[in-house]
A and B are shown apart, each in its own frame.
Chain A
């Protein structure tokens, strides 16, 4: 009760520090709570969603002629439960355009199913269903609603080469397997019976295939199921064609959650930085509190308060502040839950509803409370050693009589500059604190800008992380045809071409085996995207480069010898480099064409990456090729556009997160400046009063404050920005490390250092002018009189 009274009084007295702390803690709570609740629920959410819709564990899309063989394969794999097969239309060079949102047509391949088919696996539950299904109605993935703003009733143009059909969006569906183009760059669409038949009858739009969805006994065995399937289908399909795609639950689940994992990790990291700032503020305000109140503390002790009681009062003070900040934070988190839902939904492509999550709320409360109480205990525990007498007699040793760094008698500086510098040295401790905080924030600022720039404006660094080539067009031939490949390389509009194949390989080392999508090309120096982070790419036929995820899972490293098994043949390869890629969940490797020939002497390149000149329109080129070689067994489609499309789906999420971070940084800077200056003005009120009485004008005093604070702000923001310039990439790499990323190459314009420094300095200057303006209003007399309240 009495302790409560002291705590209440402390809070009342330090209104500004209290407000700052409440805001900091509220913000830390928002980020921590959101981060924890999303991260902890994501897995079960996806799992439950899949269970609810009886989502497939495995999907294969193949030529209908293999239906019976495929069924035999299924039956032969342990754990197979049942499957559903249906006809589908596969369109590899399809393009889409939502006429209502004024977007440009973009290329993404698609698989179209009949909405009216009965199915028990991956049931279609339509969200925002049209009142009546139109003849040309189409049900599209939910991600298009949240990430791209599509609405029921919008006109969706389905374009293949120079033909197109107008469809009308009749609703959205959720399916983990085709949740987001960031995972599978293919749209799965549902159209009505008559529309489906009409499409099937027009071969120009695509080819008929068998789409089969499998349920197994074990959801978490789907990856294994897929690898067994791939292994077994190889000898069945002639020349490895005819099996178009396979998807499994585990890979898709990890895939859809990667990005949101990154975003939430950023949020949690940011909340930790805010907490760090809160700790600095606590340390600072506790120390000032003890210094300013040492006589009160001494008197209380003299009256019979134990130091434990006084310490408890200080702890109670922070407990109340933390409680307040926490409640505001949690309330705010609920308030912004629609925005959170949107960020999560648009990146995982499933309808996420942010509900109240008591565990996350308790966990963030626990983390924040314990750390705040710990910090305030350690910054205040020194009062336990203070006897009432030392408190009353000496106060705590605070004034060190430093060397006079700015002697007025022989300085060449102007009076204000000299006095400003004097107080700069005098307030060293506060300046250091303000400096550290501003430095941290400036670093975060650069990091946030860098993220923004590289996720939205220039995505090349992201593309590099993903590890896919930036070729505009991809061409697949069913049979190797050097003539055709050379012809294309010589075509006008083509800048260069490179043969780049991939196969599903199994790499073994020391008894450990790992799957890796292995790339094959002649000369890796000719690739536009260099994914090598250590060592070098393979040059000789016995060399291989492997991603760190695969290497780690096998316990191998550079200079070790691994073996690859391919259709019964096993060969050894020397690891000469480490590569990184998001693509295929970081499971990748690279060997040379000659290396591949060791595994399969008859191997010949079948996949061509085509880079176009800047002025060559991609769609025109694709149409031209498809028309030119129609009848020959080739597939030509735009390639890079679909990668861009998947990156676009992250854009809105990154924008929201970055904007929130920047706004919060600005708020924190303003509050910290307010706090530091207010504490200074209070501490120096006698000196300022005397100065005024001696004849200094308010402007001179304000000018002195500016001179004593601005170097700190400018210096700290510059140092922080430079640190941000050098640390953003390592920081990003640390956050992406679980995804096998060792090295980030985000572009950070050097101008960003200047921009951040100037921005933060101006913000600081504005705040300083506003706070120190209060000097103007106070008469010298008042300055002496004014109590701390």
Chain B
């Protein structure tokens, strides 16, 4: 039996636009196990990103609690949350968000320095990890604008992983990429998960979702159903079929 790493109870998020209150998340309760590859799906505007950022301590919920390994983080101050994120979380964004003014290596080192003071060791580790995602020495000193979209996203993944976080959060990491690049990036994510790190990913792409062992379906701020797919196996037509049927039944 896997341990619970992240738990949300009766989570609600409400935005107020002037006089109009918009309840984006409504009394959600979720239990994420260590080592899971969780995918959150749902139609546009259903609250996927909101849920992801609430779970990761990037945003504070309106109501409800979030606990990480038994520790309640929903009451943390902004600075405590930042320290929580640096120790336990990694982030990958659809828009990639590399710092355009820093070289590839510096983009990674700046995050590594949050946890370690040993710049040399971080650089060695960063280079090693870049190699694993298929990026060689020639890209170290390039600037983000000189990379292709896929290369940039792989750098962003290395950045997210440099401090060996227990959970990697990804909001449509392949949304801006073409299919070859997307597959590259997903392979990396799958490897990360295989190495034991939990992954929570938002996507609306079925091929991407196929990588997960657990699918949560969100509609109007409520998880209406979930699917357990088991360990990812490459080119498994049956897995694809089960997922497709699940999504169709959700009205996707």
- Chain A residues within 8 Å of B, Cβ to Cβ: 1-2, 5-6, 9, 12-13, 295-296, 298-309, 384, 387-389, 392, 785, 787-789
Contacts and interface: CB of A to CB of B under 8 A. Distances in A.
A300 B108 CA distance: 11
A308 B78 CA distance: 10
A2 B79 contact: no
B170 to A, nearest CB: 12
Contact of B97 (A9, A12, A298, A304): A298
B113 A2 contact: yes
Contacts of A2: 110, 113-114
Interface stretch (B35-43, B83-91, B206-214, B217-225): B83-91
B99 interface: yes
A468 B126 CA distance: 81
Considering residues B59, B82, B89, which has the most beta carbons from chain A within 10 angstroms of its beta carbon? B82
B140 interface: no
Query: Nearest 7 CB-CB pairs, A to B?
Result: A304-B86, A2-B113, A306-B82, A304-B85, A306-B79, A299-B97, A389-B59
10 contacts: A2-B113, A2-B114, A6-B110, A303-B86, A304-B163, A305-B82, A387-B59, A387-B78, A388-B58, A389-B58
A788 B102 CA distance: 10
A300 B89 CA distance: 13
B159 interface: yes
Contacts of A789: 101, 143
B145 interface: yes
B117 interface: yes
Interface string B117-136: 10100000000000000000
Nearest to A12: B101
A13 B99 CA distance: 12
Interface string B158-197: 0110010000000000000000000000000000000000
Considering residues A9, A309, A392, which has the most beta carbons from chain B within 10 angstroms of its beta carbon? A392
A295 B53 CA distance: 16
B91 A787 contact: no
Contacts of A309: 82
A1 B99 contact: no
Given A9-B101, A307-B82, A387-B78, A302 B110 contact: no
A513 B144 CA distance: 80
B58 A9 contact: no
A301 B82 CA distance: 7
Contacts of B113: 1-2, 5
A303 B91 contact: yes
B100 interface: yes
B111 interface: yes
Contacts of B95: 295, 392
A1 B117 CA distance: 8
A12 B99 CA distance: 13
A9 B119 CA distance: 16
Nearest to B77: A306
A549 to B, nearest CB: 58
B59 to A, nearest CB: 5
B15 to A, nearest CB: 11
B226 interface: no
A597 to B, nearest CB: 84
Given A299-B93, A303-B159, A304-B83, 16 more contacts: A1-B119, A5-B110, A9-B102, A295-B95, A296-B97, A296-B99, A299-B91, A299-B97, A302-B85, A303-B114, A304-B163, A306-B78, A388-B59, A392-B95, A785-B145, A787-B100
Interface residues of B, number: 36
Nearest to A303: B111
Contact of A299 (B82, B99, B109): B99
A725 B85 CA distance: 59
Considering residues B106, B113, B160, which has the most beta carbons from chain A within 10 angstroms of its beta carbon? B113
Nearest to B111: A303
Contacts of A305: 82, 86, 114
Nearest to A10: B101
Nearest to B50: A389
B58 A304 contact: no
Given A5-B113, A389-B58, A304 B87 contact: yes
Interface string B225-247: 00000000000000000000000
A787 B85 contact: no
Contacts of B89: 304
Contacts of B58: 301-302, 387-389
A685 to B, nearest CB: 12
Considering residues A2, A12, A295, A787, which has the most beta carbons from chain B within 10 angstroms of its beta carbon? A2
Interface in B17-71: 53, 58-60
A9 B83 CA distance: 23
Contacts of B84: 304
A788 B86 contact: no
A307 B58 CA distance: 13
A385 to B, nearest CB: 9
Nearest to B82: A306
A302 B53 CA distance: 10
Contacts of B101: 9, 12-13, 296, 787-789
Contacts of B163: 304
Nearest to A307: B78
Nearest to B87: A304
B106 A9 contact: yes
Contact of B79 (A299, A300, A307, A787): A307
Contacts of A302: 58, 85, 91
A309 B78 CA distance: 12
Nearest to B89: A304
A778 to B, nearest CB: 15
A299 B97 CA distance: 7
A687 to B, nearest CB: 18
Contacts of A307: 78-79, 82
A547 B203 CA distance: 85
Contacts of B93: 299, 392
Nearest to B160: A303
A307 B80 CA distance: 11
Given A12-B101, A787-B101, A789-B101, A304 B82 contact: yes
Contact of B143 (A301, A387, A787): A787
Contacts of A388: 58-59
A302 B78 CA distance: 11
A341 B116 CA distance: 53
A183 to B, nearest CB: 60
A13 B144 CA distance: 15
Contacts of A298: 97
B108 to A, nearest CB: 10
A370 B100 CA distance: 32
B217 to A, nearest CB: 23
A291 to B, nearest CB: 14
B160 to A, nearest CB: 8
Given A9-B101, A307-B78, A787-B145, A389 B53 contact: yes
A13 to B, nearest CB: 5
A6 B109 CA distance: 11
Contacts of B102: 9
Contacts of B53: 389
Contacts of B82: 301, 304-307, 309
B109 to A, nearest CB: 8
A787 B98 CA distance: 12
A630 B106 CA distance: 94
A199 to B, nearest CB: 79
Contacts of A306: 78-79, 82-83
A308 B81 CA distance: 12
A493 to B, nearest CB: 79
Nearest to B156: A299
B139 to A, nearest CB: 15
Considering residues B87, B91, B117, which has the most beta carbons from chain A within 10 angstroms of its beta carbon? B91
Nearest to A3: B113
A392 B91 CA distance: 12
Contacts of B145: 785, 787
A392 B114 contact: no
